[in-house]
Amino acid sequence: MSDDQEYRGVDDAPAPMEVPSDPEESLDAVREAALRAGLEEYELTEDDLAALAGEAPAETEAALPTLAVIGRPNVGKSTLVNRIIGKRLAVVEDTPGVTRDRVSYPAEWAGTDFMLMDTGGWEAKVQGLDLSVAQQAEVAIDMADAILFVVDATVGATASDEKVVKLLRRSGKPVILAANKVDGPQGELEAAALWNLGLGEPYPVSALHGRGTGDLLDAAVAALPTEMPEVEIDPEAPRRIALVGRPNVGKSSLLNQLAGERRVVVDETAGTTRDPVDERVEIGGRAWTLVDTAGIRRRVHMTKGADFYASLRTGAAIDRAEVALVLLDASQPLTDQDTRVISQVVDAGRALVLVFNKWDLVGEDERFLLERSIEQDLVQLPWALRINLSARTGWHTNRLVPAIDLALGSWDQRVSTGRLNSFLGELVAEHPHPVRSGKQPKILFGTQASTRPPRFVIFASGFIDPTYRRFIERRLRERFGFEGSPIQISVRVREKRKRR
């Protein structure tokens, strides 16, 4: 795409589908009714019926408070986490291509839902085990709403525990102190010695046997904030943007260029020294919420594991946003780290705008070649919106808002069930699924189960080839747009009901 063409999509994009009141609409409706009736001959699960009724479960994880479990290696963090979330860890993600490091897991105690952040596996993921406990704690504390600090009561408080205590104090966040490995009454005394840490009452527990964990969890749940900022409910609320990308691509420069002086802190936790996390900014004359601007300004300087932590933090920011602007340095070739950030956005199902920054460094004569190589790098993401700009000079920054609007419009778009099934009917008539061992799977019915991002459920009588699935996605995009938004298509193979 040349620089001048990059915007053409904005005006040409199909408007969000509205059901038109024309004969075609009634045809769609008739066809939908017939297909729906046909589907009744098949074995459907509760989940299927919910999808058909348009009741896809809302994505709520982002709106839950986070409890981080931190502590030195071997104090029993992982054992405790497993006790809290139990076997539910084994939940298999349905979405193909989920490659993100999972940071937090949904958990529940005494009727309270929350996210449990497990730092137990972090050491293993960061090369070289000598990463300081304090560095690790700092990242977790930063991202959590309350902290469960685990100390090995049989060892007592060590120097590195003391360091973490300092960080905890400075954070001002609620802390629950778990004195672990108290497997019997004889350990209670050692646990009581941890009053000395100055973090309040130590809860004696045995993560291994479950002793005392109920009281501990009661206290932890009570420490979580009850009111979390709503992510999606208020349609009037400014839309949430994450500005992400590897270090030095120009995130803070762009933030400054965009926000200028007109910045309002949105989320400032009263009475703490915590950095403001989100800021309201005015871009293009409208209000937006930029998530995790603290993460952009504050640089965590680490020799080891910096990438891993940057990726955790980026993941958290993406999860809380509706649209992610991924910044890339146009003056350098795309790196693996760039590609990883892009995948994080796609896997999280957020709207995406790719921003090629530092375009002022690209000479006139280099532009053509550069465009070509970018094109090749991004061949897997033909739907991604791209903007070339310069955060330093402000060149083309006025193109951001139209691109964000387009991406969010796609992310919000809903295709009516009637339209969708007419489309599927035409597609199958034109290009039937290839016959496999004498059988041809039939597409029975399709529905858009949800928006944000658009998720489609297609019911079929047999396995649909991956190539055919990709073909469906390509055609869906050709017909309905969805530029700037990932879409998810899941196929449910259902069998005919047995006659009784």
> Interface with ligand GDP by CB under 6 A: which residues?
71, 73-79, 120, 180-181, 183, 206-208, 245, 247-253, 296, 357-358, 360-361, 390-392
CA 53/CA 88 separation, integer angstroms:
27
Crossing angle of helices 306-320 and 133-143, in 10° steps, is 10
Q: In the numeric block, which tokens belong to residue 205?
A: 């527990």
Our CB check for ligand GDP shows the closer of 269 and 331 to be 331
The label of the residue with tokens 């951001």 reads 400
Our CB check for ligand GDP shows the closer of 73 and 462 to be 73
The label of the residue with tokens 């280099």 reads 366
Our CB check for ligand GDP shows the closer of 83 and 477 to be 83
Q: Phi and psi of 445, rounded to 5°?
A: -170, 150
Q: Find all residues with CB under 8 Å of 237, minimum gap 6, and list them.
A: 230, 289
CA 105/CA 93 separation, integer angstroms:
12
The label of the residue with tokens 């009053």 reads 195
Rounded to a whole number of angstroms, the minimum distance from the CB of residue 247 to ligand GDP is: 5
Rounded to a whole number of angstroms, the minimum distance from the CB of residue 318 to ligand GDP is: 15
Our CB check for ligand GDP shows the closer of 175 and 249 to be 249
Our CB check for ligand GDP shows the closer of 194 and 444 to be 194
Rounded to a whole number of angstroms, the minimum distance from the CB of residue 457 to ligand GDP is: 38
Rounded to a whole number of angstroms, the minimum distance from the CB of residue 341 to ligand GDP is: 11
Rounded to a whole number of angstroms, the minimum distance from the CB of residue 255 to ligand GDP is: 8
Our CB check for ligand GDP shows the closer of 391 and 403 to be 391
CA 20/CA 481 separation, integer angstroms:
18
For residue 78, the tally of other CB atoms under 10 A from its CB is 17
Q: Find all residues with CB under 8 Å of 379, minimum gap 6, and list them.
A: none
The label of the residue with tokens 């005392």 reads 212
Rounded to a whole number of angstroms, the minimum distance from the CB of residue 175 to ligand GDP is: 17
Rounded to a whole number of angstroms, the minimum distance from the CB of residue 81 to ligand GDP is: 8
Our CB check for ligand GDP shows the closer of 77 and 173 to be 77
Q: Is the dihedral of CA 369, 374, 375, 379 positive or negative?
A: positive
Our CB check for ligand GDP shows the closer of 13 and 199 to be 199
Rounded to a whole number of angstroms, the minimum distance from the CB of residue 188 to ligand GDP is: 13
List helix spans (H) across 416-490. Answer: 417-430, 466-480
Our CB check for ligand GDP shows the closer of 150 and 460 to be 150
Q: What is the DSSP letter of 36?
A: H
Our CB check for ligand GDP shows the closer of 316 and 489 to be 316
Q: Find all residues with CB under 8 Å of 430, minimum gap 6, and list them.
A: none
Whether the bond into 276 is cis, omega within 30 of 0: no
Q: Find all residues with CB under 8 Å of 483, minimum gap 6, and list them.
A: 9, 13, 383, 385, 406, 407, 410, 477
Q: Find all residues with CB under 8 Å of 481, minimum gap 6, and list them.
A: 13, 14, 410, 413
Q: Find all residues with CB under 8 Å of 203, minimum gap 6, and list them.
A: 176, 177, 178, 179, 191, 212, 215, 216, 219
Q: Is 204 left (phi over 0), alpha (psi -120 to 50) or beta?
A: beta
Our CB check for ligand GDP shows the closer of 194 and 491 to be 194
Rounded to a whole number of angstroms, the minimum distance from the CB of residue 142 to ligand GDP is: 17
Rounded to a whole number of angstroms, the minimum distance from the CB of residue 192 to ligand GDP is: 17
Half-sphere exposure of 68 (CA within 13 A, CB side): 22
Pick from 334, 380, 382, 379: nearest CA to 356: 334
Rounded to a whole number of angstroms, the minimum distance from the CB of residue 105 to ligand GDP is: 14
Q: Find all residues with CB under 8 Å of 118, minimum gap 6, and list them.
A: 69, 77, 78, 81, 103, 104, 105
Rounded to a whole number of angstroms, the minimum distance from the CB of residue 180 to ligand GDP is: 5
Our CB check for ligand GDP shows the closer of 28 and 142 to be 142
